[in-house]
Amino acid sequence: MKTFRILSLIGLLALFASCEIEEQFDPNGPSINSVLTNASKAELDLLVTGIEAGMRNGFAGYVTASGTIARELYIFDADPRNTEDLLGKGDLALDNNTFYITGPFNSRYQVVKNVNILLEALDNTESVSEAEKQGYRAFGNTIKAYMLSQVLDMLGTNGIRLDVSDPENLGPFLSQDASYDAILDLLDSANGSLSGAEFPFFLSDGFAGYDTPQTFARFNRAIAARVATHAGRYDQALSYVNASFLDLDGDLSEGVEHIFGTVSGDLLNPLYKPAGQSGDQLVVHPRIIANATPGDNRLRKFGLRVQNTGQDGLNGAYETALYATATSPVDIIRNEELVLIYAEANINLGNLEEAVTALNIIRNAAGIGDYSGTVSQEALIDEMLYQRCYSLWGEGHRMWDLRRYGRLNANFLPLDREGDDVFTQFPIPLSEGV
């Protein structure tokens, strides 16, 4: 298996600050300035490796902070902010200068910065052909759009900063709609670059089957389908998902992954938690267990603890069993989600029978049989959100799912403690000066 072994300055770019990357020198690697002015193919390839590896940084915070707000899980550890701030205990609100926003925000923009370095380097080198440059550009802009989409997920109506190429002259925060426009335009541009492009670089095994221009395009369209769904643009979502690797008759686990390893310079899966440990726990919200359908094989994601656990007036009997080991891969996007996107788009476009067909694929894979409820738009939205809850539990989806249907509130999510609040988005980090 090809894992990440980051040995040079360029491979380590993912660890640097997003807006203030100064010129550095490494005895085993080139300077940033040399890469920007006359990059070799090897240096471009190291940038690609650093970009892919950097995508994993901060992802656990994106998942767990949003999952806590959406009441799909609790984080029981030594930091009280996980059970206080994120759940709006008492008079507390989300802090704009703490780990649950600064970690995911900075790590996403670190990758964006690395992509911008790659794009600038491509404009100033003749070491690769134009077709190869288009391949690098398509990869970089797809990942850039993916990272920006996660920032927009968290910031909601605050929007995103798209233009961060000049750290001394950062662009404005766009509106939420303009942010969606920009991200989808970037994905469409990247997809257009794939026509006639070549991939002279290697990606990790997480992209196995999606590592050529033709197959990577299907990944690009899958990410676009997710973004359009979050935006509530269902015509676009259906068009994108039909051009992705959606397969209604295929393996629901098929897709693209983050991979992890134990070699020097690599990372372990930060969402893996050993069974039964007393601290640093990801606990399943009791309502997830109580509302589950008997016989649903997705309940294997939840491990029953020998003893219940609790913290700060919150309790749980089940913990995450989503990942078997510290090197288990984490899905970026898979066919199961695409089938659910296909169902959601069809529900909102009035194609109800087609939506039921897609939902039945999910239900039967879970072992709970065909849908037998009312075939109406309202009822099928309920059903679709229910299936997304169990299919995508603990993967960073629930908060955005509830928000786009106006359900991210105490009316839909009964509170576990009197005085708690349900937040709908994260604040812009203090460091942004807005």
Confidence class for position 11, pLDDT limits 50, 70, 90? very low
- Tokens describing residue 381: 């939205």
| pLDDT tens per residue, range 206-240 | 999 999 999 999 999 999 999 999 999 999 999 99
Task: Give the pLDDT confidence score for residue 3 in this predicted structure.
Answer: 56
CA 216 to chain centre: 17
Q: How many residues does the chain have?
A: 434
Q: Give CA–CA dist 367/181, Å, rounded.
A: 39
- Mean predicted lDDT score pLDDT of the chain: 93
Task: Give the pLDDT confidence score for residue 412 in this predicted structure.
Answer: 95
Q: Give CA–CA dist 248/286, Å, rounded.
A: 32
DSSP assignment, residue 376? S
| pLDDT tens per residue, range 93-135 | 999 999 999 999 999 999 999 999 999 999 999 999 999 999 9
Q: Give CA–CA dist 212/255, Å, rounded.
A: 14
Q: Give CA–CA dist 386/398, Å, rounded.
A: 10
| pLDDT tens per residue, range 71-95 | 999 999 999 999 999 999 999 999 9
Q: Give CA–CA dist 72/396, Å, rounded.
A: 10
332 has a pLDDT exceeding 50: yes
Q: Give CA–CA dist 423/38, Å, rounded.
A: 47
Question: What is the rounded average pLDDT of the residues 318-334?
Answer: 98
Contacts of 91 (CB under 8 A, 6+ apart): none
